[in-house]
Structure formats: C-alpha cells, structure tokens
Structure 1
Amino acid sequence: MAVVDHVTSNEVKASGKFERQPNRFVTPFGDGEGELPVEKGRYRLLWAPVCPWANRSIIVRELLGLEDVISVGTLDPIRPDVPWSDWSFTLDENDRDPVLGIKLLSEAYKKADPDYSGRFTVPAVVDLETGAVVNNDYFNLTLYYETAFRKFHKKDAPDLYPVELRDEIDSLNAYIFHDINNGVYKAGFAQSQEAYSAAYKLVFDAFDTLEERLSDRRFLFGDYITESDIRLYVTLARFDVAYFNGFRVNKKMLKDYPNLWGYARDLYEEHAFGGNTDFDAIKKHYHLCCLKTNPKNILPLGPDLSIWKEPHERARLSKDPEHKYRVYND
C-alpha cells in the first residue's frame, strides 16, 4: 500500500504550521447569472464516509430529503496505490462509479481542469451533463442545500439555517471550523512542536468553551438542531476513534466531557447522523493509510463503540423535548 501525504508542500509553512489548501471550484448554486443551476437529477455528490466535510453534506442531504434530487457516489476509505493523494471507487462493481464510469476521483477533477494540481478532495459535486467537478466548496455546500435547493426539500423539512440566526450561526461555524474541525488537522499535520502545541491548545480551549455552552441547552442554539450542530458533530464522531491518538490531541477524550459526550450521543441516535457515521471506515482510513506512524498497518480494535448507544438524558434541557428540529415557518 502506497503511503501518500494528505497535505501538499504548499500546505505546510516554514514554521511547520499546516494551512489547508483553498477550494478550487467555488461557483455557488442559485438562479443568478454565472451560478450553477439548481436542477433535480443534474448533480452527483462524491463522498467518502471517513471525511468530516463530506459526512456533513450527506447528513444534510438526508435531513432535507434530497436523496432523489442529488445522487451519491461513495469512495473507498483506503486510498488507492497511486503516487498522489486520490480516492477510488473500489467499493463498486469493476472498481468504477456506476454512473460516471470513472475509477478515481481525480478523473472528474481533471475533466473540469486538466491542469489542476491540488489535492483531490471530497465532497465533490459533479455535473452529470459533463462528468466534471463543478463545486468542491465543502465550507458552503450544505448552506446551498439548505437555501438554493429549498424548492426540493421534503415536506416538513427541518429549518437548519433560520434566517434570524444566520449571522450567529455563521460566526459560530467559523469558530468551530478554525479551532475544532480544522484544529485537529492543524495538530495532526503540524511539522514543528510550536505549531502542534498551538493547535492542541486551540482544540481543547474550544472544547472547554462548548462544554460550558452545552451545560444549559440541548443543542448549540437551544432546542433545535442547526447547521452548526452538524459541523461540530462530524469532528466529535471521529475524535476518540481517530484524532485522539492519531493526531495527538490527547489531553482528554470526548467521553471525558459530560455535556459534549451526551450531546454527541443525542445527535447520533438520529438516523441522518448515526446512520451515516461509519466508524469502521473512519478507523481504516486514519490508521491504515493516513498515519505514517503505523507502518505495519495494524488496525486498532478499540475504543468500545457500544457506548454511543447509552442514554444521554439531554432532552431535559429542551422546552420541546419531543422534537429536535424546527420546521420552516412560512
């Protein structure tokens, strides 16, 4: 099995600090000039269950009932044996995506830009009319599903991005991204003690802040799940099984934070969350092909995942304990 860096040389600065590459395909979805047209059946979302950015796109797709609007192709958690960082369709018959007919994610990127030289990342949205990637903007993709694709939402779809909370959600999302979602990668991919130590502090300071925030509310903005909860959840789900030891963010495990741990289990029991959380795939990816510290490819047997189904008692913090979602009020 080839061991390929998950980062490019441009993503590691002279200080040893990891700075994630910018997204290349960022044209928004919408009805405006130059935007990607919002059409049923036109796009295919390529994802890998191991990737937190892709995971949240799948969660939102299910919550909003977009399964018949945007098709999905799933990539293998183990990277292919090629001399660059790629993803493959080896879970499918003949090792090809059944709709696009491609073997590697890079093929769809190269159709969009033959000179593309960055990492081939998920989630990636492919236009089925051309077979080319048209959007890989993981930071905004779920927001497009929640707004631009509104006309295709199922009846009584949850309002994950309420208009009156958008500024607050955007602010919290930025904090969660920089200090937690990407914070664990800043620690894991750091190439100096100073860069690692700074990232380590970011993560656990943020955990302490959110542990306190969740002490008197069921979800980040109160009684109902929002976009911010989805963004936080995908990192929490990977923390104990991959990041704690693999990325050396080992001050505490998630289960050592009573509020964060109960909150994560509260979300996990929802099918859109738990049903799209593949712990086996996550462990395989991070421990067998992501970490250079495991040359013999030994897959950890733990931690015990059965505890994700233990009671969380978070409903007591809600004024509407029977419902986790607010539906559109219009």
Structure 2
Amino acid sequence: MSESTQAAACAWQPAAKKKNNYNKRFSTGELPVEPNRYTLVWGPFCPWATPVSMLIDLLGLNTVIGKSPVFPLRHSGVDNDWFFGKKDSDEDPILKTNRLSNLCRNADPTFNDRAAVPTLVDIKSGKAVNNDSGILLTELATTWKAYETADAPDVFPEDKQAEILGYDQKIIDNLSNVINTIGDVTSQSEYDKLSTQFFDQLSEFDTLLAHRDFLLGDSVTISDLLLFARLIRFDLVFYFQNKLNQQRLEDFPNLWRYAKQCYALPAFKNNTDFTAIKQHFIQGSIDVHDFAHVLPAGPDTRKWTE
C-alpha cells in the first residue's frame, strides 16, 4: 500500500505527498524497538488509521505503544490539521501538544502540508517518524514480536505475505479507490462502472468467506483489518453518501457474518466509533450551517451485536 494510494483514497490525507523526514522503519534500524517510546496519533473515523490501532490491540502492543486520538471534526477555518481536542488549546496528555502538525514540524521544520493520520510519534523527541499505514502495519506485525502477548495471532506470516498483499490491493483498488472517486463522476456510465466494480468485489469476498472464518482461513491477518475498516463504514456512510446502494452489507450473508464475527473481537470493537465516523464523513467540521452536514439518526448500529 503506497503513500500515493492512501492520499488518493483519504480526504484527510495530503493531496500530494512530498519527501519527508517521517517515513522511518524499525526493520532498517532507523527506529529502535523500545517499549513506551512511541505513540500512535490516529482517529477512529479514519479507515487507514483504524487498522493500525486495531493491530496494536490485537497483538497486545497497547502495553508498550501509546495512543493519541485526534478530535474527529475539523476546527473552524483549519482544514489541513488535526487537533487533539474540541478546543484549540486542548493538548494530548502524552505528547503535550495541541495539534498534529507541530509533531510533523519537529521532524521537518519546512513542513507545510496537511497533517495526516495515522502518524507514529517518537515521544522522546516529539517527532513524527512514520505516517504510512501500510508500512506501519507490516512493521509492527514483524518487528515487535518480543512484546506481543502469547496468544497474539501471526497477522503477516512469511509464507502468506504475497497472498495478503494481493488481498490488500484488491481492497484498495476495488473498494477504497471506488469510494474515493465515485463522487467525482460526471456521467451515468462512469458511476455504473464504479458501482459494479465495488459490488463485484464484495460478491467475490462473500463467496470466498462461505467456508472460512477470515480471508486467509482460520486466523486474522492484516487483510482482515483493512477489509473490516471499510465494511463497518459501508452501511453507515458509503451506502448513502457515495450512492453505493445497490445492496446492503446484510445482503451478503457470508460477508455480514464475517463482519459481525470481526466486530465481536475486542481489538475490532474497541476501535470502532460509529459516532466519530459519521461526524467526520458527514458533519466534517465543528460548525454546521446546512442540512447536508447534520448528523442522521441512523442507521441502527445495534445490528452489529444481534
């Protein structure tokens, strides 16, 4: 998953990424694997940041890596940064700063782009060290094993990495990229093509999951984190906002069972915030001035636990 792919698929990602000083890795030795040295700046609304947060909990790394959630709504007049609270002055208790861009500038004083989640931050230096969700997923899954709990699943096993990356690319190409681009179509044929692409991929996954619990079999992998983060937002936002309403998630029996099974896992459920998702995608910013940005009462999310 490249940074350019993330940028294309996320409204909260920079429109164009420049070479920066926060794409460091643990596997190269640039970053020491050291407990209690890092915190993840993330937002429960973001389908790229949420899988990283889920992974930290799933592997039991939440005892050695902190979390610093941002406020889900843009502050008035500021569309290129994330704040840690509703008020401009609210600070993250771990990082002692009020906005993400400060951490990016600590790493690169010339930074003037959009601050993006997820971002891993070195608490010691106060510097952003990596903001690529794909890299963070594979790095945390492979280089922090000494700190994983005994029952942690191997979410990126060496013998299945190519298969996992293949599924990841399908999720990005046929779900995320469709969600991102369908709102820009200017013809019925363009819309029809993208809608078909989206629902064909859901149908493929539904067939695949007829005889297995997760995408690659009996155990959770990185691909499941990515897919779940899109499915949980489907009926809630994309069905209405993106006119992806040919079918509901419940209309895919195997995919719906799978999604509810994932949601039942604490690492998935505890990182799902239905209100924050609606706030970000529908309301957008703190100030609401028209009906389009008023939060809808539904859909009923109790179905996820029934």
Same-fold call, TM cutoff 0.5: yes
What's 2:226 paired with? 231
The 2-side partners of 1:135 and 1:120 are apart by 12
The 2-side partners of 1:93 and 1:85 are apart by 14
- TM, length-normalised to structure 2: 0.87
The 2-side partners of 1:91 and 1:298 are apart by 18
More off after superposition, 175-184 vs 156-165? 175-184
1:28 to 25, 30, 37: 25
- TM, length-normalised to structure 1: 0.81
Q: Within 5 A, what are the aligned runs for 1:123-138? A: 123-138=118-133
Give the match's secondary structure for 1:95: coil
Give the match's secondary structure for 1:265: helix
Amino acid at match of 2:244: V
Question: Runs of at least 4 residues of structure 1 off by over 6 A?
Answer: none
Residues 75, 91 of structure 1: 8 Å contact kept? no
What's 1:76 paired with? 71
Counterpart check, 1:306 vs 2:299: no
Identity across matched positions, percent = 35
The 2-side partners of 1:91 and 1:294 are apart by 18
1:119-151 CA-partner distances (Å, limit 9, x unpaired): 211110111122121100112211111101111
Cα 1:272–1:91, aligned 2, differ >3 Å: closer, same or farther? Answer: farther
1:162, distance to aligned residue in structure 2 (A):
1.5
What's 2:202 paired with? 207
List runs of 5+ in structure 1 lacking aligned partners. Answer: 1-9, 13-18, 311-330
1:299, distance to aligned residue in structure 2 (A):
0.9
Counterpart check, 1:263 vs 2:262: no
Cα 1:144–1:204, aligned 2, differ >3 Å: closer, same or farther? Answer: same
Equivalent pairs counted in the alignment come to 291
Q: CA RMSD in A?
A: 2.6
1:232, distance to aligned residue in structure 2 (A):
0.3
1:37, distance to aligned residue in structure 2 (A):
1.7
1:63, distance to aligned residue in structure 2 (A):
0.9
Amino acid at match of 2:295: L
Residues 182, 194 of structure 2: 8 Å contact kept? yes
The 2-side partners of 1:147 and 1:22 are apart by 26
Q: Within 5 A, what are the aligned runs for 1:108-119? A: 108-119=103-114
1:171, distance to aligned residue in structure 2 (A):
1.2
The 2-side partners of 1:271 and 1:95 are apart by 29
List runs of 5+ in structure 2 lacking aligned partners. Answer: 1-6
Counterpart check, 1:160 vs 2:145: no
More off after superposition, 242-251 vs 57-66? 242-251
Structure with more helix by fraction? 2
